[in-house]
Structure 1
Amino acid sequence: MNEYVISARGLSRHHGSGPALVRAVDGVGLDVAAGETVGIVGPSGCGKSTLLHLLGGLDRPDAGEIRLAGRRIDRLTETAAARMRRDRVGFVFQAFHLVDELTAVENVELPALLAGASRRTARRRAAHLLERVGLSGRAGHLPGALSGGQRQRVAVARALVNDPPLLLADEPTGNLDSAAAADVLRLFAALRAEGRTLVVVTHDSRIAGTADRLITMRDGAFVDETVLTGRSGGLGSLSGLA
C-alpha cells in the first residue's frame, strides 16, 4: 500500500457567493510521499497560500478531505486541530511570525514546551537546532536584533523543534534579500537531502528548483506538474489537473 505523509481529495475552499464567488481552491487532489519535496508555484492570488493553510489545518475546506499520515484531519475540533498543528506540522511563513518579546532560543523552544517537553529538553533541542541553522551565537537575541535572513532561520528551527513529519513553507524567501535568501535556500536543500517531507509555496525559482516535483496552480486548480528528480519514485502524485 502506498504511504503518503499528506493526502488530499476533492479539496475546495470558496469565498463569497453569487457573482462575487472566488474559488480559492477548486477540487484539488494531492499526495505527498515521505521524504518528498513538492514545490507549488503560480501567479499571486491563484490559491497557493490557501491550499497550504488547508493542508496544515489552519483553515477548513468547504469540500473534500485531508489525511495526515493516514488520519483524517479536516473534521478535527479546534482543540484537536491545534494539537495536531503543534505536534505534526511545522510552519514557515514569509512574515516569520516570531514572538518579539522572546529571544531566538525561547522562540524555538516554545512549541516543545507547549507539547509537554521539560524546559531542559526543550532548551537542548532549541540550542541544537539554532546551531544547525548557524545561529548559536544569536540564541539570546530578540527578533528585532536579527536580520531578516536570521529571523527566517530561527523560524525554520522553530518549525523543526517537535520533529514533525510535515514541513509547510509559504514564500520562505519572500521578504529576504539575495544573500539571506541564499542562506535559506541552502537550509531547505539540506532538509530535502536528509529526507524531510516538505510542501513549499514560492515565487523563487531557486527554492522551486530544490523540489522533487513542481506543481503549477491557476485559478484555484492544479494545471501542470513537472517531475524534477527521480526521488519520488512515482509514489507522490496529484489529481484534478485541468
Structure 2
Amino acid sequence: MTVLRAVRLRKEYGRDAGLVRAVDEVDLEVRPGETVAIVGPSGCGKSTLLHLLGGLERPTGGEVHLADRRLDRMSETELSRMRRKALGFVFQAFHLVDELTARENVELPALLAGVPPRTARRRASALLERVGLADRATHLPAALSGGQRQRVAVARALIGRPLVVLADEPTGNLDSAATAAVLRLFGSLRAEGQTLVIVTHDSRTAATADRVITMRDGVLAGETRLNGGGGGLGTLAGLEG
C-alpha cells in the first residue's frame, strides 16, 4: 500500500541544446507512516522532485498519485484544495507571514481550508504547545529564533492533519542546537505514524528516516534502508549503486 507514488516522473527546463532534465524518469513509492529522506548534491533535482510530489510544480511527463488521486491531472483549483487538505509543507526559509503572530501563522492554512475560526485557534494552540512554543504564541516571527520559526512552520504544516508532510532542507538555516530540536520533533512525528518525505543534505536529518534515497543528475541512484531509523544510522541494508 502506498500513500504517495511517482511513476516515470519527469521535469524538463529549456529546449534543444539548453534542455535540462531536472527530474528524469523517477519511480518512487512512499508507504503510510514511513519517513523517507532524499539526499544528493546541490542541483541534483531533489527539491524539484519534492515540489512535483506536492503539486507545487507541474511535471513534464509521468504521474503523481496521492492516495487514490492523480495530482498531475488536477486543475489548479483542485490542486490548491488538495494541498490544503492532504499535504503539509516545511521549507528551509520558513515562509512565515511577518505580520502574523506564531499562532496566526499556524491557523492560517486551516482557515483557508474552511475550518471554523474557533476550531482553528484551538488546533493551533495545541500544536504550538506540542512543539514547545506555547509561550511564544503571540510573538511575531521577527521576535523568534530560527529554530523557533522552523518549529512554528512544522506546526503550520500539521494544522490540516495531512496525509504527508513534505520538508525541503528543514534544518538548512539552523544552528546545531536548533537542528537537534527540530530533529527531535520529526522523530516524534515518525513515532506517531506521520508520513514524512524530507529533502536534505544533512546526514543527521537523513539518519532519522526509515529509508534514505540518493539522487544524482535527476535520477534515483541508490537506496539505503535504516533498521529502526529515527535513532541513528543503525545497520545499513539494501544499498544500491
- TM-score interval, normalised by the smaller of the two chains: over 0.9
The aligned counterpart of 1:150 is 148
Name the aligned partner's letter for residue 123 of structure 1. Answer: R
The aligned counterpart of 2:87 is 89
The aligned counterpart of 1:109 is 107
The aligned counterpart of 1:179 is 177
Residue pairs, 1:91-240, within 5 angstroms: 91-229=89-227
Distance 1:83 1:62 in 2: 22
Three-state SS of the structure 1 residue aligned to 2:55 is coil
Name the aligned partner's letter for residue 218 of structure 1. Answer: R
Residue pairs, 1:2-13, within 5 angstroms: 3-13=1-11
| 1:174-213: CA deviation from partner (whole Å, max 9, x where unpaired) | 0001111111011011111111100000011111001000
* 2:40 aligned with 1:42: yes
Three-state SS of the structure 1 residue aligned to 2:73 is coil
* 2:61 aligned with 1:66: no
Distance 2:5 2:41 in 1: 24
Unmatched 5+ stretches in structure 1: 232-240
The aligned counterpart of 1:24 is 22
Task: Quote how far apart the aligned CAs of 1:8 are.
Answer: 0.7
Three-state SS of the structure 2 residue aligned to 1:4 is coil
Q: How many residues align?
A: 231
Distance 1:146 1:18 in 2: 47
Name the aligned partner's letter for residue 124 of structure 1. Answer: R
The aligned counterpart of 1:51 is 49
Distance 1:98 1:158 in 2: 9
Three-state SS of the structure 2 residue aligned to 1:175 is coil
Q: 2:73 aligns with which of 75, 79, 83?
A: 75
Distance 1:206 1:154 in 2: 21
**% identical aligned pairs:** 70
Distance 1:81 1:4 in 2: 19
Task: Quote how far apart the aligned CAs of 1:83 are.
Answer: 0.6
Name the aligned partner's letter for residue 127 of structure 1. Answer: S
Name the aligned partner's letter for residue 98 of structure 1. Answer: L
Task: Quote how far apart the aligned CAs of 1:17 are.
Answer: 1.0
Task: Quote how far apart the aligned CAs of 1:230 are.
Answer: 6.0
Task: Quote how far apart the aligned CAs of 1:229 are.
Answer: 2.2
Unmatched 5+ stretches in structure 2: 230-239
| 1:17-52: CA deviation from partner (whole Å, max 9, x where unpaired) | 112111100000000000000000000000000000
Distance 1:119 1:12 in 2: 40
What's the C-alpha RMSD, in Å, of the aligned pairs?
1.1
Distance 1:107 1:96 in 2: 11
Distance 2:122 2:22 in 1: 41
Task: Quote how far apart the aligned CAs of 1:89 are.
Answer: 0.4
The aligned counterpart of 1:238 is none
Is 1:37–1:211's contact at 8 Å kept on the other side of the alignment? yes
TM-score (normalizing by structure 1):
0.94
Distance 1:116 1:5 in 2: 24
Is 1:4–1:70's contact at 8 Å kept on the other side of the alignment? no
